[in-house]
Chain A
Amino acid sequence: MTNVYKFVGLANYKRLFSGADPFFYKSLGVTLYYVALSVPITIVSSFLMALLLKQKFKGRGLVRVIVTMPSIVPAVAVATIFLWLLNPDIGLFNEILRALHLPTSQFIYSETTVVPTLAMMNIWTMGSTMLIFLAGLENIPEQYYEAADVDGGGPIYKLFHITIPMMSPTIFFNLIMGLINGFQTFTQAYIMTEGGPNNASLFYSVYLYREAFTNQRMAVACALAWVLFVIVLLLTLVVFRTSGWVYYEGDRQ
């Protein structure tokens, strides 16, 4: 590493966007694919889980603890556990698939399944997102549901006409946070796949780390960081611009 920096203008950016470094577009594509899968998976599964754990049943407190506990497990430990569970030859998941006579999978060891597998892993650690939904659900006034009962509205009607509209600010918040975090996913891929196989899980952060610390190209890494910043900013703006579906109770006056 040299401590002498020379001003190069936009050369680093030109190199990235011209495709001279093939990993730039590759990592962008991988990351977008991951975000497109993991954000909906996480939001839908944690929302459904919150709906389930909002019901009244015996042992509810315990089940809530069980579901949120994985979210505080250190990411390195999560990666270790899933390396073992996802082992294609003797891992538990393939054993279960075999016992059910279903086709087994290579999971993180195949180019086609690695990103979906990493996205699905989020279902296990989505506890904090689920708790935010749960807090939102418990803030919906009971009268709305009672009014729907009087009108003869069933559970599906209530879900789409009361629960989801009332929850839209919370969904919006989780969507924004999910996008910002999704673009920065690092630890799982770094530990479990090191970006492989054949760069199929080369997340943007992994690529940025590799440029900075493995290849010692700090300037390129800084250019990458700026590009990431602009992407996340633009995406957040787009989501804000299209947030007409979000219903704020304070607006209705």
Chain B
Amino acid sequence: MSKLEYISFHLVDDNDIDLAVNSKLLEIAKISNKIVTYQSALLLLDYLKSDKFDGSKPHVILLDIMMPNMNGFECLDQLTQMPEHIRKQLTVFMVSSSIDRNDIKKAESYDLVEKILEKPLDVYLLKKYLGEVFE
């Protein structure tokens, strides 16, 4: 999975334990070591809008659904409105500890969303999905 090396991973979750666990899991599964974590969706949006954002490479966002201030779907709405050159590099996986069928339906209605994943992260499944997108 050499192409995965170019991908930057952005983990968004208000729970610091889940952030630590998920980034560690990505490392262990050798999916990536370019991982940035955000405890709020707002921080992710700040980053994407800043000049630190590298628009020449793909970015994968693991976005928790239930978060205070801005939840996963509100963040998705913002991402959808991003300029094309940013948006085209984004692949979003929604993450939730308890998947509601309404959430699945809602997530499927966004073009940006690739899949909805259950916590704890099944890295083998994620690897498979990433393969489908990037290989």
Q: Do A and B come from one complex?
A: no
Interface residues of B (CB under 8 A from A): none
Residues of A within 8 A of B (CB): none
